[in-house]
Structures are given as structure tokens and as C-alpha cells.
Amino acid sequence: MSSSVSGSKILSFGHYQPSRILTNDDLAQMVDTNDEWIQSRVGIKERRIADGESVADMAALAAEKALAASGLSATDIDLIVVATCSNSDRSPNTACRVAAKLGIGAPAAFDLNTACSGFSYALANADHAIKAGASKNALVIGVEKLSEITDWSDRSTCVIFGDGAGAAVVTAISEGEEPGIGPVVWGSDPSEAIAIEGWRPYIVQEGQKVFRWATTAVPAIALAACQKAGVEPAELGGFVPHQANLRIIEPLARKIGVNPDVLARDIVESGNTSAASIPLALSKMIERGEVKSGASVLLVGFGGGLTYAGQVIRCP
């Protein structure tokens, strides 16, 4: 029987976005909207739209970059967890398809769907598996192709969403090493303010209800994750909430006392990419040198379900 270990850490991140850019001016040619209307309400200037790439394609491309940066090989990976709510196929799951694309032999592989909190849920599952001794090296991926389930005639939703993927490589820590992934704070709310239901193939949401919930409930979740990790919000070197709406995440950072300079604002150029938004935003911040290695970074996912999850990580 495998013995448990004391924790895990993140070795690397990687991301992928489609090349096709859909601007607010482009959307103004499709529905009754304009750049000022969109930016004033959600803070988005543009988003990426998949043009032929599948959910599994984008997941594999992000994972490939994370794996290349980790120093590990495909044969080292024994677990793949994919967070997504937009995969159109029920089986095989996306995780198995990523394994096949990357030549990863026989990993444990599963998808999970908690929509916008998905990456934080997936990261917690990988961390728990490593702590239990069931895994040593894991790929954790958030990926969405929301363009396929967006009603492009509905201006209340089509201006928000985009496509993309982000991935992290997670590994067991060495003896005596401090854990790099803090305790998760997670849960759900019975509200169905955001839904993608089988009989109706598009995303629908009660925007004001989601806004009120996010601005009132999420601050306590963020503070609880910091408290469990023993980190003060002002000490954070990065804050990466789900990129839902700039008008939600900027007040959130102020409310919990985070330095606004360390807040991820990828929503502006990527839109809301649901489960992909946290790893996508953080990978890009790391690539630009905006978050230093070893810094404490707070991740908080929240949305569809409604579900939420958050934890503090050490930046690789």
C-alpha cells in the first residue's frame, strides 16, 4: 500500500488561446451593443474564439506547455484531472484524450464539472490524491469552448464568454519541504443562477443575481482560504479570482485588502473562460514576470452551480 505524503506543490503552468480575436466592435455588428456598453458593464475589450480547435485540443496544448516547463516527461504523469463544462462528448472524457495526445501511458484520468470554480476543485482533487499516496505527478487542466454553447443573438451573454485553456503540473513535495498548495475552502449554493441544460443548448444566467452573490459571498470565501493558509491578504504576491467580470473582481480585491497591483485582470483581453480562467490568467502573469517565484497567490473560483473553491498556492 502506498504511504501518504505531507503535501504537494505546483511545478509549472502553461496556457493556450485560439488565434481568432473577437472584439467588442465585432460584436456590435452581430447584436445591439457597443464597446462602451460592454466595457462599462463587464470590463471586457476582446475575447478569443476557437476556430476548429476542440476542447481536448486546447487542453492538450496548454498541458504540453506546462509539462515542457516542469522538467518532467509524459511518462512521469500518473494523474490527469480536467475541469470543463463545455465538452460536448460524454465519453471518452477529455482527460483520456489529453493522455492520448501527449503520449501519457496509463494515468488515472477524469473530468469534473463545477463550471467556473472547476480549476480550484481540480487542483484540490490532485493535491488530495498526492497526499493520500494515490499519485505522485499530476496534470491539472481547466479548459472551455464556451463559443459552442453561447447564444450569439443574446447580448446579455454573448459579450461575456471566450475560449481557452490553462494547465498546471503538480508534484509531491520532498521530505521537510513546505507544501505549495494550501487547504481548500469549497462548497456550493443551491441557486441555479447560471445554467447550461440539456433541453436548452446555450448558457443562461441571471446576471444581477450572480453579481449580488459574488460581491457578498465570495469575500468571506477568499478570506477563509487565506486564514487556512496562514497568509494575510496584504502579503499576497498574486490574487487570481475567476475572471467573471471586472466590476466584480476589482471591488473583491479592495474588500479583502489585496494590493490592486497583484490582481489578475485577464478578463479584459480573454473574456470569461469559466474553468480555464484561473490557470490561463496566472500562466500569463507568470510569463510576463508579474508574479515572482515563491510568492503566495490566492486562487478563488466561483460561479455556475453555484459552486465555489479557493486556496493559496506558492508560485512555481
What are the catalytic residues? 116, 242, 272
Please answer whether residues 218 and 241 qualify as being in contact, where contact means their C-beta atoms are separated by less than 8 angstroms.
yes
**Conformational region of residue 13, where left means phi above 0, alpha means psi within -120 to 50, and beta covers everything else:** beta
C-alpha pair distances (Å), 133 with each of 95, 96, 125, 139, 173: 20, 21, 12, 16, 12
Residue type, 187: G
Contact residues for 245 (Cβ-Cβ < 8 A; gap 6+): 41, 42, 43, 160, 211, 214, 267, 272
3-class secondary-structure state, position 261: helix
Q: What is the rounded CA–CA span in Å between residue 93 and residue 109?
A: 8
User: Given strand 163-172, what is the order of strands in its sheet?
Assistant: 8-16, 163-172, 137-145, 79-83, 108-112
Rg value, the chain, Cα: 18
Reported as type and span, the H/E element at residue 287 is: helix 277-287
Angle at 151 between CA 149 and CA 157, to 5 degrees: 100
Any idea what the Cα angle at residue 186 is, between residues 180 and 187, rounded to 5°?
170
Q: What CA–CA distance (Å, rounded) separates 47 from 269?
A: 6
